[in-house]
C-alpha cells in the first residue's frame, strides 16, 4: 500500500498532548477509509504538523483528517525512502 506524508499548517504552540490527541482522533476512524496512520511529528514554533500514513490514496487521508477536525490539502505520496 502506498505511503503518504501530509502537512498541516497553523498549529502554533502545539503540545505533545495535543498532538497525541489529534493523532488518536485519526486512529479512531482510520479504518473507515482503509488508512493506517503510522506516526505524527510537530514543530510548535512553525505550527507545522507532519503525518505519515499508508492509504489507498491521498483522498482517503484527506477525508480522515477532515472528519477528525484537522483538514489539510497537502498530502504527498512518498514512493522512495532510504
**Within a domain: 63:** no
Structural domain harbouring 27: 13-46
**Within a domain: 28:** yes
| Nearest alpha-carbon partner for 76 in 48, 53, 46 | 53
pTM for this model (two decimals): 0.94
Number of domains in the chain: 1
**Within a domain: 23:** yes
**Within a domain: 34:** yes
**Within a domain: 1:** no
pLDDT digits (tens, 9 = 90+) for 34-67: 999 999 999 999 999 999 999 999 999 999 999 9
Kindly report the CA angle at 13 between 68 and 24, in degrees rounded to 5? 30
> Which residues, 6+ apart, have CB-to-CB distance to 69 below 8 Å?
22, 25
- State the residue for C-alpha cell 504527498: 76
Amino acid at each position: 500500500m502506498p505511503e503518504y506524508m501530509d502537512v498541516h499548517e497553523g498549529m502554533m504552540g502545539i503540545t505533545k498532548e495535543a498532538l497525541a490527541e489529534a493523532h488518536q482522533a485519526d486512529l479512531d476512524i482510520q479504518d473507515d477509509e482503509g488508512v493506517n496512520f503510522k506516526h505524527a511529528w510537530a514543530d510548535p514554533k512553525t505550527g507545522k504538523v507532519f503525518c505519515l500514513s499508508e492509504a489507498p490514496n491521498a483522498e482517503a487521508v484527506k477525508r480522515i483528517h477532515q472528519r477528525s477536525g484537522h483538514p489539510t490539502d497537502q498530502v504527498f505520496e512518498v514512493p522512495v525512502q532510504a
